[in-house]
Structure 1
Amino acid sequence: MRTYGKRLIRGAADKATKQAAESRDAVLWDILLTEQVCRCKIQGSSELIIARFPQNWATVPEWAKPGQAVRIAHRGGIRGYIEVVGFGRAIPTPVSGSATPTPSTPDNAILEGCLIKAIPQNPGMSVYITTGRARFNGVEYTVPAVAMAAGSALKMNMGIAMGEAAGVFSISAPSAGQFRYDLFSLSPSLVVTKTAGAAFTTVESKPALPSGHLPIGYLLVRGGQTVIAAADIGQIWSVPVPASIATTATDNGIAWSIVASVKDQYGNAITTSLGWNLAAAIASGDGSITPASGNTGSGSSLTFTYTEGTAGTLVIIEITLTQGEYYAYGQALIKL
């Protein structure tokens, strides 16, 4: 009778060998993300050893950083296969050279603060930039505050706390119907700078960042704007579209003139070559309004006439724009 004892023993040994994993500490030197491998150094050697990522790593873990002690395993059964399996216990000592890689210089960046803000009290066409911290060439700096001195743009009646403003800037508005982006940036000498962009109407344009500066942010300025409020900070330009209908009611005796003006999302009057189709209806109260609907033509407004009804009534007139993909709404309130 033939026995299979030797074959069974050999199979068990091969299986045990494949499951075995000899491990040791190493220092992670660098990561080659595209190849899904990293390079390490082990105790008593200055040679860089190639180690693979585990197959279940979707991304590189937070702890896998150059200079970190890691545990590498020499997988049995696969010749020359080395894999990073987790944290190491100690950083090994090489034969020569540094035990850890030379850290790279971190990118220049604003680390804290340096925000664009509206003037808290007596707002007008001005903004200020807060103090903060920034990094240039690997060194961290504190962005200094401007002094409140004679001739300074920083005034006591602005409501800005002492030491809070790194710069105060006056903003000019472009012509009616136009827009402009102003860029605020921080120079390597820690000076906040404003770079005004070119005015535009239908194609967005932003100023270029000065060489060596860190970007703080953009401020969108509208044509005819007179006050910069907190809601204006961080606003992003989009193509003007009808957003609301503003109304003005004038008493002419027993009849009222109601001027309905189409406004865009920035509060500016907006026109179109085909004109806007407006409809008016009495939502509450009595009387009559003419016309029931009409077109603004080449302008942005249309005048309706309301004829009075019962004295003492509060009349609510609704005016709507429904045209293609656009919709806008407005009201006129009249107390008889």
Structure 2
Amino acid sequence: MTEPCDPEHRRPADGLRHERTPAEDPFVGHRRLLFTVAYEVLGSAADAEDVVQETWLRWAALAPASRDEVVDPRAYLVRSVTRQALNRLRTLARRREEYVGEWLPEPLLVGPDVAEDVELAESVSYAMLTVLETLGPAERAVFVLREVFATPYEEIAAAVGRTPAAVRQIAHRARAHVSARRPRTRVSRAEQDVVVERFLAAVRGGDLGELMEVLAPDVIVVADGGGVVNASRRPVRGAGRVSTLLATLTRLELDFEVAPMRLNGGPAARFELEGRLDAAVALVIEDGRVSRIYVVRNPHKLGRLDREAELGR
């Protein structure tokens, strides 16, 4: 079934029409935007790609005349990809409820162009994605469209099937929810790098004392193995327990390497075991210490860390 053209998105007939080349096609021009919307709503690059593909199929299925009558292709495509993402999120709800252990978003490498866009970088940061996971589907979509992409309330209403007044209320609740849970302080890249290096040096050396110094007292580790590889099925809390857990790597005499990297534009590390990527570790740094550690070991979520994701607004 194709996505219908709403009257407000139709261009009045003027008797003129030209065939668009692929480079001129609005879908091609907005593909990065569509993937970013889908990824932020779903937290999964694999599912986002499927949703973008479905959006493309619906767009391509439109008759040329109908496609030419779309006045605002960007709004039309964003609305379509949001609907598809919400449908996918609802379909995935039971699967995620049955997921073995904790479910974490799929990490991505992003380019310097994303880092230069402060609002976009914040929205795809791993810390933000984990907060978005605590929102309901409609709240998540409304927050992403409004706060990240400045989408008018009327367009969001059309995408999520609510009235503009209801969308305003949802946006207000979602904004308050996210504000209460996002990291309290912004930390510069230089400050992050210093803390990450201290943290990794302590992990390499199994230095319990240094780990206790670099970890926040209430630090939390959340690990995602997906039932495919071993990972703690519940969060590990407190600097003492987390330090002991991390120091175990050295005591076990494993052939492991740890190196700094950037995940979703934020501080992170890659753990290699016997020369192979074993885990991607996203870090949240507050007040000069590591306050959150997200360990992604599920191999199905590590396949895109060899190339930059194409994100954009």
Tell me which interval the TM-score lies in, with the shorter structure as reference length: under 0.3
> How does the TM-score come out when normalised to structure 2?
0.21
> How does the TM-score come out when normalised to structure 1?
0.20
Structure with greater helix percent: 2
Greater relative contact order structure (CA < 8 Å, 6+ sep): 2
Structure with greater strand percent: 1
Q: Which structure has the larger Rg over C-alpha atoms? A: 1
